Amino acid sequence: MDLVVVADLHYVGRAKRTCPILERNAHLGNELLRRALRRLELSSPPDVLVLMGDLVDDGEAPGAEEDLEALREELEGLSFPVIVVPGNHDGDPDRLLSTFGDRPGVHEFEGYLLLTFVDWYDPQDRAERSGDGLKLVSDVASSHPGVPIVALQHNPVYPPIESTYPYNLTNFREVMKAYSESGVVLSISGHLHRGHELTYADGVGYVVCPALCEEPFRFLRITLRGRDVSVREEALKLPEEPSLVDVHVHTHYAYCASTVTTSGAMERAEKFGLSGIMFTEHAGQLYVSSEDYWSGRFMEEPHLLRRYRNEGKDRMRVYRKEMEELRSSFVKLGLEVEIDRYGNLSLLEEDADGWDLLVGAVHKLPQVHSKDEERGFMEVTESLLKNGVRVLAHPFRFFRRNGMEVPRCLFRPIARLLKDYGVAAELNFHTNEPDPDFFETCLEEGVKVALGSDAHDLYEVGDFAPHLEFLRRLGLEGDDMKEVLFFP
């Protein structure tokens, strides 16, 4: 059985509550869960996800129910089941479990019995396992002989934690005795934010999951094979090496933006370990209306850009002025540009200079290139490269988006074009599935790889775990990875 364990979100969204401990990043709780779930869905989904309590920072605060409901909504549509364990910050445990459609007691998955406990807390946050809870372990063990048991509770059982704050269950010794006598394989807890590695006592494994809400935003992947247990810790924050730059982040100026803002994106870039961020907004969207952009009219009638400018309706200058105020050694400014029917960039001449980066994209083919999509794609791509873009965004996504088979015969020709023009290929997972064969070809041709989140939502900014794993599967590690990465 493969478990993923997430503990201590301490989320504060709509609740009338100010978390007194800044390190908890309470305002990010919902987003942290979304980032963790996205990683699971993009990598290897578990058999079960366990949320180990303290999902909100104060379950008694007005609005806390809405925050719990927001967290529950994040779990909709998952390909794996979820178990919830109440924590001392969650308020009424019955309400919590009802919100998530769960219950305490026995859960059976993949030949294992998972026991969840609702422990009792006194006004000083001291937790105690009830007599019924202790009896449940032995009853389950006797009624399911030979079936391995995993115990789940918010407070740590073992090891004893030296602190003025009561982390351990007050009757932890009785709990340990019950676990040992009943042949419990593993006990999992949260609550202690720093976590604790897998430790054994009397034949039982004990592990404490660190808090997701505190940097580096960790959770656990646990694999059980019979009575063998392995624990791997994962962090949402990126490793210090190699240093990484997100070359493709959108702003609130995008018609297709969701939650992304410049201030929010900069905060995420720093918190999740990026060494730089580049705002690269859709140039076409900064000139024309949403209707003229999505219809592709701005590509077929490029004079529209000048008309919008003359009528004072474009937003390019406002965008540049606002972004210039943010520009620093950490924040750079760019555009995502496209090609019109004449092979020119979607950019007025007076707006062409002064950008840190131009990212070229093929979202739609001008009509003159649409009769033969493969040939048209090659021609439009080369026009982008001729016009000074330094990164080709989401290569070949155009075909997937339009329900066409990706022409693998173009992998080598496109890679050679990128090499000839000195342009990087963007590795991008935003509504996209990059093809390892294409990037393998790029590496063979000596093409650099740029990392882009293509963020339209804040939770996407700097989420490069899938990018790094993708490159590792191509055999890149350490200095080899540094060598191929594009840095603006």
* pLDDT digits 0-9 by tens, 65-104: 999 999 999 999 999 999 999 999 999 999 999 999 999 9
pLDDT of residue 172: 97
CA distance 305 to 350: 12
Q: Tens of pLDDT along 404-430? A: 999 999 999 999 999 999 999 999 999
Containing H/E element for 465?
helix 465-473
Cβ neighbours, 10 Å, residue 310:
9
pLDDT more than 70, % of the chain = 100
Whose tokens are 């939502």? That residue is: 457
Tell me how far apart the alpha carbons of residues 191 and 337 are, in angstroms, rounded to a whole number: 48
How is residue 156 written in tokens?
Answer: 């740590």
**Banded pLDDT at 106 (limits 50, 70, 90):** very high
For 250-289, b where at least 16 C-beta lie within 10 A, e where not — what string? bbbbbeebeebebebbbbbbebbbbbbbbbbbbbbbbbbb
- For residues 169 and 173, give the distance between their C-alpha atoms in angstroms, rounded to a whole number: 9
What are the structural domains of the chain?
2-235 (3.60.21.10), 245-484 (3.20.20.140)
Query: pLDDT tens digits, residue range 301-312?
Result: 999 999 999 999
Q: What is the mean pLDDT of residues 108-124?
A: 95
Identify the residue whose tokens are 């934010």: 193
Pairing label, strands 48-51, 82-84 = parallel
Burial of 226 (0-12, 13-18, 19+ CB in 10 A): exposed
54 pLDDT above the threshold of 90: yes
- Summarize the confidence of residues 447-469 as an average pLDDT: 96
Greater model confidence, 398 or 43: 398
Report residue 15 as tokens.
């609740």
- Residue 42 pLDDT more than 90? no
Q: Which of 210, 176, 179 is nearest to 195 (CA)?
A: 210
State the chain's mean pLDDT as an integer: 96
pLDDT in tens, 152-199: 999 999 999 999 999 999 999 999 999 999 999 999 999 999 999 999
Q: Name the band, by pLDDT with cuts 50, 70 and 90, for residue 44.
A: confident
- Beta strands, E only, 386-470: 391-392, 424-428, 449-452
Pairing verdict, β 218-225 and 228-235: antiparallel
> What number is the average pLDDT over the span 27-53?
95
Query: At 488, is the pLDDT very low, low, confident or very high (cuts 50, 70, 90)?
Result: confident
> For 23-46, what is the mean pLDDT?
94
CB of 48 within 8 A of CB of 83?
yes
Give me the helices (H) in 165-279, please. 172-181, 262-271
| Pairwise CA distance, residues 284 & 348, whole Å | 10
pLDDT confidence tier of residue 277, bands split at 50, 70 and 90:
very high
What phi, psi does 153 have (nearest 5°)? -150, 155
Residues in the chain: 488
What residue type is 29 in one-letter code?
A: G
Residue type, 295: S
Q: Structure tokens of 124? A: 């000083």
Count of CB atoms situated within 10 Å of the CB of 475: 10
How far is Cα 152 from Cα 114, in angstroms, rounded to an integer? 7
**Which structure tokens are listed for 312?**
């004072």
Q: Cα separations (Å) of 228 from 47, 83, 153, 222?
A: 17, 22, 20, 10
- In this structure, the number of other CB atoms found within 10 A of the CB of residue 469 comes to 12
pLDDT digits (tens, 9 = 90+) for 342-393: 999 999 999 999 999 999 999 999 999 999 999 999 999 999 999 999 999 9
Angle between helices 29-42 and 465-473 (to 10 degrees): 20
Token pair belonging to 179:
């676990």
Based on its alpha-carbon atoms, the radius of gyration of the chain, rounded to whole angstroms, reads 26
Q: What is the DSSP string of 182-200?
A: TTEEEEEE---TT-EEEEE
Closest CA relative to residue 268, chosen from 7, 464, 480, 428: 464
3-state helix vs strand vs coil in the chain, percent to 5? 35, 20, 45
| pLDDT at residue number 43 | 84
Token pair in block for residue 205: 């494994």
Task: Tell me how far apart the terminal alpha carbons of the chain are, to the nearest angstrom.
Answer: 43
Which alpha helices (DSSP H) does 273-370 contain, by range? Answer: 283-287, 290-294, 297-300, 303-310, 316-324
What is the rounded distance in angstroms from the CA atom of residue 303 to the CA atom of residue 181? 80
**Tokens standing for 411?**
């992998």
